[in-house]
Amino acid sequence: MSLKFAILGVLELKPHTGYDLKKTIEASVAHFWSADQSQIYRTLALLVADGLAEVEVITQDGRPDRRLHRITPTGLTALHGWLASPLPPETPHDAFLVRVFFVGELGIPAATALLQARRAEADAVLFRLTALVGQDGGEAVDLAHTLRRATLRNGIRHAAAELAWLAETVEALS
């Protein structure tokens, strides 16, 4: 659902081909959204069909033509409407917590192993995001930039929360 708008958002910044989009997404929003390449192409086609984006074909030889997509005024309206619309209720799906809930059957060592594995992951995420925020410099001036940094900080906060919870939980098991 939001892939549509994530793509519109990227197209607003700059026209993209499907190929570029994949790269831009990986380089900018990968920490909270991921998209399969075929899904990107499908969604682009859908946006064009709905009049939210338009295509300029740039012929090439030796490889497929580039299909450069840009957002239309209708698309811009749709994006802004979505950004201002109320948050839909979300249905949680956390497979890790399903494991935690039932892993008691296997005893304390198995439960601890599960938590340790999770800690390694959370550590890695924290490290990666912290590096990204650091790279970014500091002095944020414009609003867009501040918000983009905020998405990274969100990931950092949650990774830290997860680590704190893991420590507390491992402790409770012993």
Partner DNA sequence: GTCCTATATGTGCATGGTCTAATATAACCA
Partner DNA sequence: TGGTTATATTAGACCATGCACATATAGGAC
The CA distance from 45 to 168, in Å, is 48
Number of residues located near its own copies, criterion CB under 8 A = 68
* Binds its own copies by CB under 8 A, chosen from 22, 52, 96, 139: 96
Regarding 172 and contact with its own copies (CB under 8 A), the answer is yes
Q: Does 77 bind its own copies (CB under 8 A)?
A: no
Binding region for DNA (CB under 7 A) out of 31-39, 76-84, 120-128, 164-172: 31-39
26 touching DNA, by CB under 7 A = no
Task: Between 64 and 104, name the residue whose CB sits nearer to its own copies.
Answer: 104
Q: Is 21 exposed, middle or buried (0-12, 13-18, 19+ CB in 10 A)?
A: buried
Question: CA quadruple 114, 116, 120, 123: dihedral positive or negative?
Answer: positive
Taking the CA of residue 101 as centre, how many other CA atoms within 13 Å lie in the half-sphere pointing to its CB?
Answer: 5
Nearer to its own copies, 69 or 118 (CB): 118
Of the candidates 58, 70, 98, the one whose C-alpha atom is nearest the C-alpha of residue 12 is 70
* Residues near DNA, by CB under 7 A: 1-4, 17-20, 23, 34-39, 41-45, 60, 62-68, 91, 93
